[in-house]
């Protein structure tokens, strides 16, 4: 017998299967907004660091900035994270491991000289963009967005 709980019903089972590891709606929105502003990045980029393997949702490799878009449920948001009422024997340790893994990834990235930006899925797109831009700075000269803005001044 597996160490997984039996699903409550087929609907819940389908809902849990539909959860994505990458390319979530908040992540896609952030990536689109950053790209339209001239920022170039790698998505779901694997970093093999000393003692850890980390996959930021968005990685600015030249500037050494790793961005994570954390889901409120999966990463235990203090504002919106909910604790499951059923199968707590399974969910409580699983969610705690997610948070521990986040802290370990942050520490490994910081030790390797990376800046880490974590945004919650519930944050506004503008707040998420501001947090990322504050960490990486202005787009590089010659980027697509800068060339378009120079050709069509306001």
How far from chain centre, in Å, is Cα 31? 10
Q: Taking residues 11-16, what's their average pLDDT?
A: 60
Mean pLDDT of the chain: 84
Q: Taking residues 72-100, what's their average pLDDT?
A: 88
Pairing of the two strands 115-120 and 65-70: parallel
Whole-number Å distance between alpha carbons of 151 and 66? 31
Pairing of the two strands 52-54 and 47-49: antiparallel
All structural domains of the chain, each given as residue ranges with its CATH number in brackets, are 67-141 (3.40.960.10)
The more confident residue out of 153 and 126 is: 126
Closest among 62, 26, 47 to 105, alpha carbons compared: 47
Tell me if 116 sits within 8 A of 21, measured CB to CB.
Answer: no
């Amino acid at each position: 017998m597996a160490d997984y709980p039996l699903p409550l019903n087929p609907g819940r089972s389908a809902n849990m299967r539909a959860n994505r590891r990458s390319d979530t709606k908040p992540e896609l929105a952030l990536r689109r907004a950053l790209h339209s502003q001239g920022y170039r990045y790698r998505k779901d980029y694997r970093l093999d660091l000393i003692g850890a393997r980390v996959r930021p949702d968005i990685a600015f490799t030249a500037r050494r900035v790793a961005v994570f878009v954390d889901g409120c449920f999966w990463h235990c948001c203090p504002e919106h994270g909910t604790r499951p009422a059923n199968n707590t024997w399974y969910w409580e340790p699983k969610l705690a491991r997610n948070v521990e893994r986040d802290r370990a990834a942050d520490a490994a990235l910081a030790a390797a000289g990376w800046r880490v930006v974590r945004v919650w899925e519930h944050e506004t797109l503008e707040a998420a963009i501001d947090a990322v831009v504050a960490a990486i700075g202005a787009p590089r000269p010659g980027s697509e967005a800068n060339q378009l803005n120079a050709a069509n001044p306001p």
